[in-house]
Structure 1
């Protein structure tokens, strides 16, 4: 398995990071169960437990997959934001499920069988048992778990039940609100935007890019988010020049200006991109020294009246 951990099945098909699948827990898992599961995985991936030839891969799995998943599901603010994205993804499932081919037999059975809730929990528990025993197949197991989540969410959405909440959170908190209206979505996008701005000021480009990706999923027509994303790629270009950074910066800038030609963030991005392009053109096919001014050339200016430069 490559260290990029590219997963495209199940809920990942919709550009949604399925943190429940990564931890091997059901979508209605309680906070105590989430923590218990995380600690179990972390112990299994500890360097003292792993074989020597697996330690680097185990550390990568822990840092790139497991730790971010637990951080998202254990933080109330992050979990609320995650819930909004999950509910929106569930709505998409109902409309676009026919465009997705499920590879898991268990997931396909959940899409049509009776008593799907009990089958779902049993299937998740079964897969989770050996999820992190063979690190070379972790991505495949996460994919199967995410397909189960896909089928489970689809069935719940069919019955208009929405995203399942854990028993503990239902007891401690009021019932979840219906899908957010436009004003609530704007407020959430604003949170992502503000966090991205703060991270960019600290030169934390990957983290800022992740916040903006989540914001754009919520509101693909946010000109300021596309403008700030262009600035993120500009910053990355300054640190590590590449054609990809410039191309992505231009793509997001084009979207931003198309949505709002007067957006200040997009205009700032255009200014910086123009500066980079102009700077990259310096010294290519041009003399390094500036041409002499007219006053320095023979036959022109005051000194030219006397047939040459003043000695």
Structure 2
């Protein structure tokens, strides 16, 4: 641990984003937040830091008591998480309106430019990369926490176009999936049910899958995506997403099956083409119009980091 002292400026600098302080996703539920808090608190605990130099022990103790513990206190309750997200969204809107929402970090830039279907998965992968050694030293803490805070703002900016969302134990889901009918006041003053749009059951599975992915519950995400594929077996995007999650779950064989199927259904599916190249899938027997792209895709970006 670095012997550099704790900076009083950090209390103000990182106060707005306790998610960045803990190194946890803005989509995290209370269980995931608690798990991450315990990991960080254990790393910074005086008993673990006993062999470090005095400056390092002081730094760890100050960060734990003045940043990490308060961040957890704010996020452990629903009300605190709701207020924090509201504050962050307001900040995103203000910075966007003033054209001051920057993305200086490499990962934040890539998230800003990611295709819409890749946003959630890329965000989780980028966050995992940044938070892995977040508290390994003074300098790394400053660099990684600042990068995570920036990543969170870009992610929220990308999600601004979504319907109003609410937190679930498995993450954030669209409120449109919660209630398919609403009540309006009729002319006689009574409430009359009004039918909502037709239920898209496949999309419900996709929404739940995204929530599971956000919380790294890949087995559950796979099951939801398989259900979506059963309902809409000719949807190339669904097969692509299923292939992505299989790959995240280290099931390369199944990933190849669904990426191949995605390209059979849509030979120009750009995301599927990226993963086909990464998985070394032979495209010649799929469709004569399938041409590999140069990009290494979502996981290729992270492979280059190591």
TM-score (norm 2): 0.49
Judging by fraction of residues, say which structure has more helix: 1
Higher-Rg member (1/2): 1
Judging by fraction of residues, say which structure has more strand: 2
